[in-house]
Structure 1
C-alpha cells in the first residue's frame, strides 16, 4: 500500500471529500482507487476561523508501482511502512529469570516484552494491585489518609494511571516501537482510535482495566508479579574483570532474591530507592526538572480561545495548549502535562508533604482544564554538588506547601490576580478548584523559590496574550508541582546497563530516560531487548522482513 501524508480538508468536510482528495493528490481515476484507511488524523487550529483536519492515509491502488514511480521524489507519497514489532531474541532453556523493579508503564512493557520472548520475568512493585491501590489513593483524596506505599506514585500502573493518559511524545524510532505500545494497549482494551488520532489519550478509569489485562497476559506467558514488595538493598559483587555486577536484591521483609539481570523501572518518586542505590555505589547524577503549580481554567474558556465558533465540536474534543516563555531572569516558564476537562489531584507519596498533578478521564468532560505552570531548574545553577540535592529541594518546597495548606494534605491555592499583585488570597473567585482533599487560600510565594515566583509573574501576562482568559484574575493556582520528572539520572551505557554496575538496567522516567507514558513504555521495550541480548539465546534480527 501507499502512505499519503498531509492531506488537508476543512473541519466540516463530507465523507466523499477524503477519497476525492486522495485521487487528486495521486492523479488517478476513481476506478484506480481500490480502498483507503486513515493512518493518522490531526487538526490544525492555528487559524480558529478556518480549522483544518490533516490526514495520513494508506491507499491501495491499481498499478501501485507506476504511482510510486511518479512520486519517487515526493516524501508525502511513499510505500506504507511495515510497523509490525519483531522480537530481538528468544529465551534459551534454563535461563535465570530477569527481575523488573516497578510496574509502571516502563516496567509493564519491559515485563511484557521479556515474557513474549520467553524469559518469564519476575516483576516487583512496592505498591498494591491497581484496584486496591486505587482505593488507597481515594483514601488520601477523600479522607486525607496517606498510605506511603500505595498511592498516586506507587502501585500497579505507576504514576501514569492517575493522569490524562496521554499517549504521544516526540520520540523517533525507525522500528515503530511506539506503535507496538499502542497496539498492545488496544489489545488490552484501549479504544482503537488511539491508533489513528494524532494526540491519543486513555484516561484513568480505562487504564485500570487495561493494566489488569496486561498483567494477565504476562502471567499467562510465565511471568510472575510480587506486589507489596519493596527493594531495600542491592547485592553487588566484584566480577572477574575488575568491575561490579548485580547478584541479588534485599527485600523489605528481610527476604533475598537472586538476580543477575535487574531492570530498574522505579518511577520518578522512589526517593528512598534513589538514596539506597546511591549508597550502594550505583552511578547516579543530578538532572534538570521543573517546579511550579497547577493552574486551572474553565475548559470552556480554553475551547473558545482555541476553536472559536467550533468549540464543542466532537471531532476536536476538549482543547489543549502548549506554551512557553523565556524570561528576563534567564528562566523558562512553560505549560506541562496539560489535562483538558480534568482535575488537579494530590500526588504526594511522603507524609507531611503536598505535591500536585493533573488527571483526566477518557471523556475529558470535567468543568476545568488544568496544567502544570512550571519553571525549569538545573543542577549547576540551583542544586549543585550532591547528586541527590534535587530530592532535598523537592522535599523542602513540598513541606512548605503542606504547612501553607494547613498541615492536613489540603493544598495551598491562590487567585491569579492576587499572585500577580503579591498579596495572599483570603477567598477564591469564580473558578472553583478541583483539588481534593481541598485547598487553603494563601500566598503561593511562600511555597516557591523567589526566582520561580518572579518568572511566573512575568510569564502570566504573556500567556494571557496568547490564550484569551489565561491570566484572568479568578484563575486558580494550586501548589506545588515538583514532580515533573526525575531529579536524577542513573547513567547507562550503549548496552543499557549501568555505567558501573553490570546487570543493572536503569529504565524509564525514574532513571532519567523518559517523560510520560509512551516514552517510558518504549524505553521499557528497549531495555527488555537489551536484557535479552545480554543473556544470549536465539538472537533474531529485529529489522528483518
Structure 2
C-alpha cells in the first residue's frame, strides 16, 4: 500500500477527477492503479488572494509498487502507507465471569463498553441519565419551557455532553496507535457519513449523533453487554487499596474488579463522593468566559473571501488566541459554524452555556466560546474540588443576572468593550433558549477575565474582519470548557491509590471533545483487558 500526500486539485473538480490525477502523478498506466482510498482532504484559506484548492492524502494499491517507490525515492510525498488498522489486545477466556463495569455512557464510556464487548467481556454500563430519545425531550423542556431535569439534560444521559454539540470529530491529541481511526470507523458503522474518514475537520451534528448513539448501544447489547439507565453510582465498595464494586442510589451493590469511571466533566456529586473516598485527584486548569455570536456570513467572507458560501466548503470556522497585557491568554473555544448557543446547566439555580450545530451548519449565526485560561495555583487554591466550587459560584451569579429563570445574561460586544450595560439588541438575534437578559456581563466573571476579554475582542478584528462589530452578542457564561480536576492515573491507566478503578475521559481530565474522549475509551478498554489477562501495559 502506497500513500501520496499533497495532491492538489481545483475546488470544483468532478468526483472522477481523482483517479486520473493519481495516474498522472505517478506516471503509471490507468490499469496499474488497482484501488485507492481518500485518507484526508483539506484546503488552505490563509492566503486570501490565491486560488483555493483541495489538498489530498490518498492511500492506494498499484502494480509494481517496488518500482514506483524506487522511482520516487527522493520524493517525500510518495511513500509506503502506514498501517492504521486496529489491533485487538485480546479476547475473554471462556470461563471469564467477572463482568467489568462502565460508569457513564458519553463518548468515552460508549467506546470503552463497545471495545470491551467486541473483545468478549460483556460489560455492564451504568448511566445516571436517560436513553437518548427521552433525554432529548427533557433537554428541550429546559430550552422551551424553562424546566430543568437535573438527571436528564445536556450533560447527563446517553451520549453525554457531546450529543448536544457541534459533533466535532477532530483533535490535537497524540495518537501513535491510530485509535482515532478506530473511533471514526465505528462511527461510520453506526451511521455517520463516510466523509468523516477523510475531511480535515469532520463533524456530525446533534440529529445524526442521536441515531448513531442508539446504534452503538444496540451493538453493545448484541455482543452481550448490558446498558442500565437511570442508575446513579453513589458509593464505592473498597477493600484496602482495591476496588471491589459500586453502590447505586437504590442501595444495590454491584461487585466488580474493574470499574471504568467515564463520568463527564459535570458529575460534581460523584467527584465529591470519590474525594470523600480518598481517591487521589488534583485540581487542573480550565477556562471561563462567554459565547460570542456573529452573522455566519461575516465569518465566511473574512475566512473564505470570494469563496464564501461555496457548497463544497460550507460554513467557515475560526481559531483565535490573544495574549493579554495582564498575562492571561484569551482564545476561541468550541467554535460552532452555523450553530446555536444552548443552555447547558445540569443543576438548579445555575446558568452555563455551550455551542451546538447540526450537520448542515445552516443556522444564521456563528458562535464560539471566548474564554480565559485559569489555574489552581493562581485562581482557585484550596484543593482538588476548588475549581468545582468556583464554577458553581460563577454559574449561580449568572443565573441571578439572567433573571433567575434560566435565561442567560447577555450584552452587545461593543457595549461590553466600552464598559456600559446593554439595553437593546442590534442586528444579531441571540440564539440562546430560553432567552437572554441584557445587562452588564462585567458582573459575571472575575475582573482579570473581564479585562483580558475586553482587550482581546478588538484585537481579534485584525484576524477576522467584522469580529468586533458593535452588535455581536456575548452570552454568559461558559465555565465547563473542561474538567476542573484530574483523577490521576498511572501508566496502567488505574487510579494511583485504588486498584481496579480506571478514571477515563473528559471528567477524569484525560480528554476534551468527542474524538479524544472516544480514543481514551479505547485505551481504557485495552488497559482493562490487559489487566484481566495479565498482559504488560502498552
Q: Taking structure 2 as the reference length, what is the TM-score of the superposition?
A: 0.97
Is 2:491–2:537's contact at 8 Å kept on the other side of the alignment? no
Is 1:87–1:540's contact at 8 Å kept on the other side of the alignment? no
Distance of aligned partners of 1:182 and 1:251 in 2 relative to their CA distance in 1, 3 Å threshold:
same
Q: Give the Cα–Cα distance (whole angstroms) in 1 for the partners of residues 66 and 249 of structure 2.
A: 62
Q: Does 1:372 align with 2:373?
A: no
Could you report, residue by residue, the CA deviation over 1:252-299 in whole angstroms, capped at 9, with x for unpaired residues? 111111121000100000011111100101000000000000000111
My pick for the range that moved more, 80-89 or 160-169, is 80-89
Q: Give the Cα–Cα distance (whole angstroms) in 2 for the partners of residues 393 and 428 of structure 1.
A: 30
Q: Give the Cα–Cα distance (whole angstroms) in 2 for the partners of residues 541 and 180 of structure 1.
A: 19
Is 2:309–2:315's contact at 8 Å kept on the other side of the alignment? yes
- Structure 1 match to 2:228: 226
- Structure 2 match to 1:241: none
Q: Give the Cα–Cα distance (whole angstroms) in 1 for the partners of residues 230 and 537 of structure 2.
A: 38
Is 1:98–1:119's contact at 8 Å kept on the other side of the alignment? yes
Q: Give the Cα–Cα distance (whole angstroms) in 1 for the partners of residues 16 and 129 of structure 2.
A: 51
- Structure 2 match to 1:492: 489
Could you report, residue by residue, the CA deviation over 1:224-268 in whole angstroms, capped at 9, with x for unpaired residues? 011101111112111xxxxx0101211111111112100010000
- Structure 2 match to 1:171: 173
Distance of aligned partners of 1:281 and 1:3 in 2 relative to their CA distance in 1, 3 Å threshold:
same
Report how far residue 16 of structure 1 moved: 6.4
- Structure 1 match to 2:9: 9
Q: CA RMSD in A?
A: 1.6
Residue 465 of structure 1: SS of its match in structure 2?
Answer: coil
Residue 90 of structure 1: SS of its match in structure 2?
Answer: coil
Q: Does 1:509 align with 2:506?
A: yes
Report how far residue 10 of structure 1 moved: 3.0
Distance of aligned partners of 1:294 and 1:541 in 2 relative to their CA distance in 1, 3 Å threshold:
closer
Aligned to 2:105, which of 103, 106, 126?
103
Aligned to 1:260, which of 251, 257, 270?
257
Distance of aligned partners of 1:9 and 1:48 in 2 relative to their CA distance in 1, 3 Å threshold:
farther
Report how far residue 156 of structure 1 moved: 0.3
Aligned to 2:207, which of 194, 197, 205?
205
Report how far residue 434 of structure 1 moved: 0.1
My pick for the range that moved more, 43-52 or 494-503, is 43-52
Any gaps of 5 or more consecutive residues in structure 1? 239-243
Is 1:43–1:316's contact at 8 Å kept on the other side of the alignment? no
Is 1:8–1:55's contact at 8 Å kept on the other side of the alignment? yes
Aligned to 1:442, which of 439, 444, 465?
439
Q: Give the Cα–Cα distance (whole angstroms) in 2 for the partners of residues 292 and 523 of structure 1.
A: 27
Distance of aligned partners of 1:269 and 1:73 in 2 relative to their CA distance in 1, 3 Å threshold:
farther
Distance of aligned partners of 1:177 and 1:60 in 2 relative to their CA distance in 1, 3 Å threshold:
same
Q: Give the Cα–Cα distance (whole angstroms) in 2 for the partners of residues 15 and 404 of structure 1.
A: 53
Q: Does 1:270 align with 2:272?
A: no
Is 2:322–2:330's contact at 8 Å kept on the other side of the alignment? yes
Is 1:88–1:541's contact at 8 Å kept on the other side of the alignment? no
My pick for the range that moved more, 512-521 or 172-181, is 172-181
Could you report, residue by residue, the CA deviation over 1:499-529 in whole angstroms, capped at 9, with x for unpaired residues? 0000000000000000000000000000001
Is 2:527–2:537's contact at 8 Å kept on the other side of the alignment? no
Q: Does 1:322 align with 2:319?
A: yes
Q: Give the Cα–Cα distance (whole angstroms) in 1 for the partners of residues 73 and 523 of structure 2.
A: 33
Aligned to 2:419, which of 400, 422, 431?
422
Could you report, residue by residue, the CA deviation over 1:200-247 in whole angstroms, capped at 9, with x for unpaired residues? 100000000100000000001010011101111112111xxxxx0101
Q: Give the Cα–Cα distance (whole angstroms) in 1 for the partners of residues 512 and 272 of structure 2.
A: 21
Report how far residue 31 of structure 1 moved: 5.5
Distance of aligned partners of 1:441 and 1:80 in 2 relative to their CA distance in 1, 3 Å threshold:
same
Is 1:88–1:540's contact at 8 Å kept on the other side of the alignment? no
Q: Give the Cα–Cα distance (whole angstroms) in 2 for the partners of residues 437 and 339 of structure 1.
A: 19
Aligned to 2:408, which of 387, 411, 416?
411
Could you report, residue by residue, the CA deviation over 1:43-75 in whole angstroms, capped at 9, with x for unpaired residues? 111123322211011233331111112334544
- Structure 1 match to 2:285: 288
- Residues 329-340 of structure 1 mapped to structure 2, 5 A cutoff: 329-340=326-337
Residue 325 of structure 1: SS of its match in structure 2?
Answer: strand
Is 2:492–2:537's contact at 8 Å kept on the other side of the alignment? no
- Structure 2 match to 1:122: 124
Q: Give the Cα–Cα distance (whole angstroms) in 2 for the partners of residues 295 and 474 of structure 1.
A: 10
Q: Does 1:147 align with 2:144?
A: no
